[in-house]
């Protein structure tokens, strides 16, 4: 099983993913941001102009490697994957979700949402004063992530990580309620 948690920066994806890992036997957290950070380092100084952006998701290898590493993690460790990532680009989203869906009979994508002021308050608690890359992307991505293509949606405002995890499990049909 793979559960992909999408949503803007600061919405609570990683925290909800950790709660899901605790709730689902044999689950592990897989964060594709680590893949992107490594790729950014590996390709420093050699990227073609179209890949030289401020977003590692624009590195052509990132979507494919994200799926390949998921496959290897599942094969090697025989665990369910909980995958938190912010991904709003329709093409990258399609590539990654179709790739992950091909790895398992049980794939689910859930997009976590909260009002912008709530997310910005959470980012401030992390020390973000409003000038970061993630802050700016959240302003841009939040309306996109509310689109139907990114459904199922789960709200995180005024919800504990456990409540969000329970809602995710309910939305994907792993619990009743």
Domain boundaries, given as residue ranges, for the chain: 2-171
Spatial CA neighbour of 32 closest among 53, 2, 11, 75: 2
75-99: pLDDT as tens digits: 999 999 999 999 999 999 999 999 9
Question: Distances from the Cα of 34 to the Cαs of 48, 85, 114, 128, 134, in angstroms?
Answer: 21, 10, 24, 20, 15
Q: Note the CATH architecture for domain 2-171.
A: 3-Layer(aba) Sandwich (3.40)
The first and second tokens of residue 46, run together, are 């050699």
Provide the residue-wise pLDDT of the chain in tens; the chain has 177 residues: 999 999 999 999 999 999 999 999 999 999 999 999 999 999 999 999 999 999 999 999 999 999 999 999 999 999 999 999 999 999 999 999 999 999 999 999 999 999 999 999 999 999 998 889 999 999 999 999 999 999 999 999 999 999 999 999 999 999 855
CA atoms within 13 A on the CB side of 54: 5
């Amino acid at each position: 099983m793979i559960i992909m948690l999408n949503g803007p920066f600061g919405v609570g994806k990683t925290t909800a993913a950790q709660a899901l890992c605790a709730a689902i036997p044999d689950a592990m957290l897989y964060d594709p941001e680590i893949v992107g950070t490594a790729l950014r380092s590996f390709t420093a100084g050699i990227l073609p102009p179209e890949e030289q952006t401020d977003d590692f998701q624009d590195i052509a290898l990132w979507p494919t490697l994200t799926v390949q590493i998921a496959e290897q993690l599942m094969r090697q460790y025989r665990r369910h994957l909980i995958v938190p990532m912010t991904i709003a680009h329709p093409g990258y989203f399609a590539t990654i979700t179709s790739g992950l869906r091909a790895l398992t009979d049980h794939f689910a994508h859930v997009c976590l949402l909260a009002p912008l002021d709530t997310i910005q308050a959470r980012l401030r608690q992390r020390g973000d004063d409003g000038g970061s890359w993630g802050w700016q992307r959240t302003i841009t991505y939040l309306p996109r992530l509310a689109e139907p293509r990114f459904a199922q949606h789960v709200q995180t405002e005024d919800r504990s990580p456990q409540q969000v995890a329970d809602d995710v499990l309910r939305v994907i049909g792993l619990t009743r309620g």
